[in-house]
Structure 1
Amino acid sequence: MLLSRKRLLTWAVLPAWVVITILAVPAASRLSDVVEAESSAELPRGAQSTEVAELTPRFPGGETAPGVIAYVRPSGITPADRAEAEADRRALAPIATAAIAPPQPSRDGRALMLTVPLADDDTLTDKAGTLRDTSRAGAPPGLEVRLTGPAGAALDVGDAFERIDRPVLIITVLVVTAVLLLTYRSPVLWLLPIVNAAIALQVAGAVVYLLGEHAGLYVADGMSTILNALVFGLSTDYALLLLARYREELRRHPGRHRAMAAALRRAAAPIAASAATVSLGLLCLLAADMGFNHALGPVAAIGVLCGLAVVMSLLPALLVVLGRWVFWPRIPRYGDAPPARGAWDRVGHRIAARPRLVWIGGLAVLGALSAAALGMDTGLDRAHFLTTTPSSTVGERLLAEHYPGGQGRPVQVIADRPDAASVTAALRNSPGVADVGAPLASTDGRLARLDAVLADPPDSEAAERTVRALREHIPDARFGAGTAAEIDLADAQSHDRRVVIPLVLGVVLLVLVALLRALVAPLLVVATVVASYSAALGAAWLLFRHAFGFPAVDTQVALMGFLFMVALGVDYNLFLVSRVREEVGRTDHRTGVLRGLAVTGGVISSAGLVLAATFGTLGIMPVTMMVQIGVLVSLGVLLDTFFVRSVIVPALALDTGPRFWWPARERPK
């Protein structure tokens, strides 16, 4: 009777997932509709620049992201050039949020600058494209025309993501397929993890879309790419682990349903613990100040839980319905002997000969790699935001040659209306300020806003010093946009690293303690994962500096890399140690450690390759931050899979002996 109910449940699951998938696909295809393009949405919570952005709608024209068009002719601007700039001003007037001022000539007579105020909303990228196309269409020969400013930068980023999002997903599928084919050498079995991951992607995309559309969930540019990599990688990993356990149980049980029930009973705990570790670690981002970081946590956690739901329900049903033949040509039969001693069994016995020497030597290697991170430079300027030089950066450089350095991205200053005169005077008398615009009154008459053009380029240290000094000496004003926003972003990232990293470590430790019912093992595992992250960061910096030619690491990479590496990297240690605990319960500690490594080594290595390949595909993106996150996580996963998890952790477990399970007084059951 119980077996009959299981069969009925199996056949009920398949049509249920067919219906869910049919409903999810249309919703997932509309995920881009809820992506918010406003630059202010990603600003740090509670920062001055965020306050300025929030107050901006109270002024005529609302929240704007100006497009600055630079017209440059080295031999000097001609009457035809002036006529072209004036014609562009008239043509672009319908899409501007306010009247467009006449083109401003440079003092050397070689450049014109046209500033077009645009609404900072979901239409910004499209309107910036109109600015670029219109200004270039009728340019006289020899006149260089470039779009820069916030609108130009937004257009560059939008173009980069639009060109690469789908190709990255396609390449990810192809790479993962290749790894699975090499792993299983089966013409059929590799399809199941791919199908499950594809369905998980659709379900996750649909849930995120629905929450973004109807519940106000914030989805930023770039989140869909991270979501794709995370869901595809984790779903495939979980599928590999369940497949490996199911294959084992098929040798022990004559019926497929009983084999799957046993596989789920033994694999559910570590897989669920993995999903809990990753999703709770991601939700720690809710404590972040950065708008992007704060919003990424819930979006990514949704993806993890959707992947878990698919793998733990749809995949078992498919496997049971399809039967043993899906493993062809290596079909597991009831009563078959376990596989012969493999490579990981041999590795384990070599480690067991001198475990203390192995883990000390392993930590020395990690320490040497970590030392490379001590010389790491953090903080990319706008010129290196993309892997190629953005058009807006070229335009900004052109403006810097003919106008004050901060002309393309002035600092916005908001003060109470009665203080406007004194704030204006203080700004004009401040070192590092090249020009101050006339105050603009808010629609309610209570506030005043003015633009302060800095003498130095917006990304320079001199500009940062100027803004920090202005904030200190003019406390009655609030400073935002341009250099002020970059300062707040850097400060918020620093805050997020100090707050989120300890939270993630705490969450990971608690999940491991709950799963293993021990304290020493979780502490050692977390310590090795942190060491693995530090080593990967050092190795990645060497690659960034000497192979990729990046001058620095984006401020977001350290936190994102830590989050994905610790939350994901601990998974493989979790799968290993939970299996070791199970084996130790059947025999002695040493035998249990070696047996656990032998039976999990192959599948965890395959899972590590899949996850590394998945994140590695981010390396083809034109966005430097994404490339750096992809390279860092891939390096970290490979290092953790083939060195930390396979060598250092077993060595520590063997060296500590039964104390590995302290405070348990007896061996685990």
Structure 2
Amino acid sequence: MIVAWLAVAGVGGPYFGKISEVSSNDQSSFLPESTESTRVTNLQGEFRDSDAIPAIVLLVRDGGLEAGDRAWAEELTASVQDAGLSEGETSPPIPSEDGQAIEIVVPLGDGEVVDDVEALTALLEEGAPDGLQSYVTGPAGFTADLVAGFAGIDGLLLGVALAVVFVILLVVYRSPVLPVLVLLTSVFALSAAILLVYWLAANDVVRISGQVQGILFILVVGAATDYSLLYTARYRDALLHHRRRGDATRAALKGSAEPIIASGATVIAGLLCLLLSDLASNKALGPVASVGIVMSILAALTFLPAVLWATGRGAFWPFRPRYDPAGADRVRVVDHGADGRPSVEGRGVWASVARFVARAPRAIWIVTTVVLLALAGFSTQFQASGVEQSELVLGESQARDGQDALAEHFPGGSGSPAIVMVPAGQVGPAVDAVEATGGVAGVAAVALDSPSGTLPLGENAVPPVGPFAGVEPTEAQGLVQLQVTLDDAADSPAAEQTVRELRGSLSAVDQGILVGGATATTLDTNETSIADRTLIIPVILAVITLILMLLLRSVLAPVLLVLTTVISFFTALGVSALVFEHVLDLPGADPSVPLFGFVFLVALGIDYNIFLMSRVREESLVHGTRAGILRGLTLTGGVITSAGIVLAATFAALAVIPIMFLVQLAFIVAFGVLLDALIVRSLLVPALTYDVGRAIWWPFHRRIEP
């Protein structure tokens, strides 16, 4: 078994640096074919020879441009063409009406956008006149920011996550050997997962993005470590009961396989619900993360038992567990305490927690629930209707600064127009409808015979003269492409509202008119994400509840467990709303953030309840329900808390990638997991189940002693 996993790691290891090759961060490629913006994107190929991404070069001089600035702008245009940076014709320098800025649109190839933007920036820095500010912004600038933001996902993210987990494991185990074995389990599971996901993506079975890639890394490391902690705790207990390590291995596998497989199955079921999503990025996370969970389970139940069997008690050095069957039962439950109910004897943090729960269960679960619900009330302040593209990457951004400067001197949508596909016979009425819509700065038609590639239209348009007089808009498949420049920045909420109004007014002209472009893509993505969230969350709850019913052989217990986890999620969301708005000063969140947060918190939060309640049921069958609750809490307290801290730390590592989506998801999941492990699973669930008593196993409660 060890040799087999070494072979898997040897083959899969090199793919750590290759998986980015099959990853894409192009937002439009994840939308379903049925959306209006996707249909426009597909039709645009008829009006252009390449898939170039426009970069907007902005030159600004406060107080007014000088003659030398204009001359240098002309030279810059020629330099861009000579350097081969432009995928097509670079626009001539376009001065602003206030005379303080010049705009040049450079169509960059869609290959190495980061390199092209860096080369373009270098050209600007080489010979710009003194005092002339320069920026590279527009779609290419923001794409370069996004790619650069994900650049550390292969090395930095994984390195930070493994380092944090290693330190936590050293503290938990107080052994230099065991943390290495557990981390090897996680790395081997990740190697196997990456190998499989790479080939799935390479063969177009799934379409992954940088955020899916980052979540896969973190999820596998966290889940594999959690499952390893559970098995290791069982194995250590088994070494106290069994002299031979083979017998201890069998006992540990028997005790840990069911809860590990059940918890993994719960997470997988929740993740696979994402297949219902209309967004390819969300849909891909389901099978990709499920592959990671499967490999985590396999590694924790095959490689780790094998390597622990091979090392025996030496794995726990210097605190080796000794064979001691007489003192192996560390938890003693007094059958009748002062109030006639069972209580726990002994020392230790979790024995004290169990006694606390036994003394006042009703007060504990009521007070805890009230506090959680009060914090959950702030979840209504969580703004998840979308954020501007310029805000996606945290920290300094030339593209963001350039966008702000562009809006001061040109219409905000310059360089990123809305794209309108109009039947050739409806161009006139369509242009009238566009000009009658608020938020529109100008409209032009694509005309490949024109030197600029466009033909100005509308009431104030100046027709071309000289040899280009009489140029007509290019027609393809009976359609004409209009470019509508918006007053507001293409990624702003105001621009999205203008697109909504354009779609409404143009559909009144002809139902066949389509509105696309960068703004429409963002709008369609946000609306699709919101629709996904509304559909998928109830499905996840139903699926997880059914799995728990099968596992716990009960109806009431699973319903209560799911309710506590949902309360925990909304509490995490409420606290996150306060932190994001008042501490981090973030402008909002992507609509998929609550969905991803819900998937991970509900699925992973249920994990800890499964670890606890499966042990509680096991103990209840022997000692009775209330004694079983106290024994289960005491026996699993340490390992589940350690698992929660490890998982929270691994998700927190996502914050090292300066992408707003990942930073927000890191906080929500890390805080929520700690809340589940330290409060919900430690106090709320035990106190509630203790107060309910044997009825918690309804309708099969009569089979278990009170």
Q: Give the TM-score category using the shorter length.
A: over 0.9
Please give the secondary structure, in 2, of the residue aligned with 1:606: helix
Alignment-derived partner of residue 224 in structure 2? 235
Alignment-derived partner of residue 290 in structure 2? 301
Q: Does 1:641 align with 2:677?
A: yes
Alignment-derived partner of residue 105 in structure 2? 115
Deviations 1:111-157 (A, max 9, x none): 111112234x4433333333333333322221111111111100011
Instruction: Please tell me the residue identity of whatever aligns with 1:65.
Output: I
Please give the secondary structure, in 2, of the residue aligned with 1:116: strand
Please give the secondary structure, in 2, of the residue aligned with 1:586: helix
| 1:138-149 alignment runs, 5 A limit | 138-149=127-138
Alignment-derived partner of residue 58 in structure 2? 70
Alignment-derived partner of residue 84 in structure 1? 72
Alignment-derived partner of residue 405 in structure 2? 398
TM-score, normalisation: structure 1? 0.94
> Which deviates more from structure 2 when the two are superposed, residues 302-311 or residues 53-62?
53-62
| Contact 1:576 1:596 (8 Å CA) reproduced | yes
State the superposition RMSD in angstroms.
Answer: 1.9
| 1:446-465 alignment runs, 5 A limit | 446-465=478-497
Deviations 1:623-651 (A, max 9, x none): 11111110111110011100000100011
Alignment-derived partner of residue 46 in structure 1? 34
Superposition deviation, residue 366 in structure 1: 0.4
Give the Cα–Cα distance (whole angstroms) in 2 for the partners of residues 624 and 37 of structure 1.
14
Q: Does 1:539 align with 2:582?
A: no
| 1:348-497 alignment runs, 5 A limit | 348-378=354-384, 379-440=386-447, 444-475=476-507, 476-497=512-533
Instruction: Please tell me the residue identity of whatever aligns with 2:496.
Output: E
Q: 1:254 aligns with which of 240, 243, 262?
A: 243
Superposition deviation, residue 444 in structure 1: 4.5
Give the Cα–Cα distance (whole angstroms) in 2 for the partners of residues 299 and 100 of structure 1.
41
| Contact 2:441 2:486 (8 Å CA) reproduced | yes
Give the Cα–Cα distance (whole angstroms) in 2 for the partners of residues 442 and 508 of structure 1.
55
Distance 1:61 1:77, change over 3 A: farther
Give the Cα–Cα distance (whole angstroms) in 1 for the partners of residues 290 and 574 of structure 2.
28
| Contact 1:396 1:408 (8 Å CA) reproduced | no
| Contact 1:200 1:310 (8 Å CA) reproduced | yes
Superposition deviation, residue 44 in structure 1: 5.0
Q: 1:267 aligns with which of 233, 256, 259?
A: 256
Deviations 1:39-69 (A, max 9, x none): 3213355321122222222321343421111
Deviations 1:83-126 (A, max 9, x none): 3322332233334333222111111111111112234x443333
Deviations 1:214-244 (A, max 9, x none): 3442121222211111111111000000000
Please give the secondary structure, in 2, of the residue aligned with 1:142: coil
Instruction: Please tell me the residue identity of whatever aligns with 1:430.
Output: T
Deviations 1:578-616 (A, max 9, x none): 110100011111100000000000000000000011111
Structure 1 unaligned segments of length 5 or more: list them.
1-12
| 1:446-595 alignment runs, 5 A limit | 446-475=478-507, 476-595=512-631
Give the Cα–Cα distance (whole angstroms) in 2 for the partners of residues 490 and 275 of structure 1.
30
| Contact 1:438 1:450 (8 Å CA) reproduced | yes
Give the Cα–Cα distance (whole angstroms) in 2 for the partners of residues 42 and 160 of structure 1.
19
Superposition deviation, residue 78 in structure 1: 2.4
| Contact 2:619 2:628 (8 Å CA) reproduced | yes
Instruction: Please tell me the residue identity of whatever aligns with 1:449.
Output: Q
> Which deviates more from structure 2 when the two are superposed, residues 415-424 or residues 273-282?
415-424
Give the Cα–Cα distance (whole angstroms) in 2 for the partners of residues 269 and 375 of structure 1.
40
| Contact 2:440 2:484 (8 Å CA) reproduced | yes
Q: Does 1:31 align with 2:19?
A: yes
Alignment-derived partner of residue 10 in structure 1? none
Instruction: Please tell me the residue identity of whatever aligns with 2:438.
Output: P
| Contact 1:44 1:492 (8 Å CA) reproduced | no
Give the Cα–Cα distance (whole angstroms) in 2 for the partners of residues 268 and 163 of structure 1.
35
Q: 2:322 aligns with which of 333, 336, 341?
A: 333
| Contact 1:56 1:63 (8 Å CA) reproduced | no
Q: Does 1:627 align with 2:627?
A: no
| 1:131-210 alignment runs, 5 A limit | 131-163=120-152, 165-210=154-199
Give the greater-gyration-radius structure (CA). Answer: 2
Give the Cα–Cα distance (whole angstroms) in 2 for the partners of residues 348 and 110 of structure 1.
72
Give the Cα–Cα distance (whole angstroms) in 2 for the partners of residues 83 and 597 of structure 1.
77
Identity of aligned residues (%): 40
Please give the secondary structure, in 2, of the residue aligned with 1:219: coil
Distance 1:265 1:442, change over 3 A: farther
Alignment-derived partner of residue 310 in structure 1? 299
Alignment-derived partner of residue 338 in structure 2? none
Give the Cα–Cα distance (whole angstroms) in 1 for the partners of residues 32 and 130 of structure 2.
44
| Contact 1:160 1:623 (8 Å CA) reproduced | yes
Give the Cα–Cα distance (whole angstroms) in 2 for the partners of residues 359 and 511 of structure 1.
25
Instruction: Please tell me the residue identity of whatever aligns with 1:206.
Output: L
Deviations 1:407-441 (A, max 9, x none): 14221112233333432332133222111122346
Instruction: Please tell me the residue identity of whatever aligns with 2:502.
Output: L
Distance 1:223 1:87, change over 3 A: farther
Give the Cα–Cα distance (whole angstroms) in 2 for the partners of residues 124 and 448 of structure 1.
29
Please give the secondary structure, in 1, of the residue aligned with 2:702: coil
| Contact 1:60 1:98 (8 Å CA) reproduced | no
| Contact 2:620 2:628 (8 Å CA) reproduced | yes
Instruction: Please tell me the residue identity of whatever aligns with 1:453.
Output: T
Instruction: Please tell me the residue identity of whatever aligns with 2:601.
Output: M
Alignment-derived partner of residue 7 in structure 1? none
Please give the secondary structure, in 2, of the residue aligned with 1:115: strand
Give the Cα–Cα distance (whole angstroms) in 2 for the partners of residues 163 and 322 of structure 1.
35
Distance 1:615 1:300, change over 3 A: same
Structure 2 unaligned segments of length 5 or more: list them.
331-345, 448-472
Instruction: Please tell me the residue identity of whatever aligns with 1:468.
Output: R
Superposition deviation, residue 621 in structure 1: 2.6
